[in-house]
Amino acid sequence: GKLRPGVMAKDLVLHIIGELKQNAAIYKAVEFTGPVVSALPMDERLTLCNMMVEMGAKATYIQPDEVTYSYLKEHGWTEFPVLETDRDYRYSEEHIFDVTLLKPQIALPGSVDYVADLSSHLGKHVDQVFIGTCTGGRYNDIAVTAKILKGKRVAPGVRMIVIPASKKILARLVDDGLFTDLLESGAVFSTPGCGPCLGAHAGVIAEGEICLSTSSRNFPGRMGSADAKVYLCSPATAAASALTGMIESAEVSC
- Best CA proximity match to 38, nearest among 3, 11, 7: 3
| Interatomic CA distance for residues 105 and 11, integer angstroms | 5
The pLDDT tens digits of the residues spanning 48-84 come to 999 999 999 999 999 999 999 999 999 999 888 888 8
The pLDDT tens digits of the residues spanning 160-219 come to 999 999 999 999 999 999 999 999 999 999 999 999 998 888 899 999 999 999 999 999
pLDDT range class, residue 252, cuts 50, 70, 90 = low
pTM for the full predicted model? 0.95
The identity of residue 225, as a single letter, is S
| Interatomic CA distance for residues 70 and 240, integer angstroms | 31
User: Which residue ranges make up each domain of the chain?
Assistant: 105-244
- Best CA proximity match to 212, nearest among 189, 190, 238: 238
Superfamily of domain 105-244: Aconitase, domain 3 (3.30.499.10)
What is each CA distance from 237 to 15, 34, 73, 232, 245, in whole angstroms? Answer: 15, 25, 31, 10, 12
In this predicted structure, what is the pLDDT of residue 253?
47
| Interatomic CA distance for residues 141 and 19, integer angstroms | 24
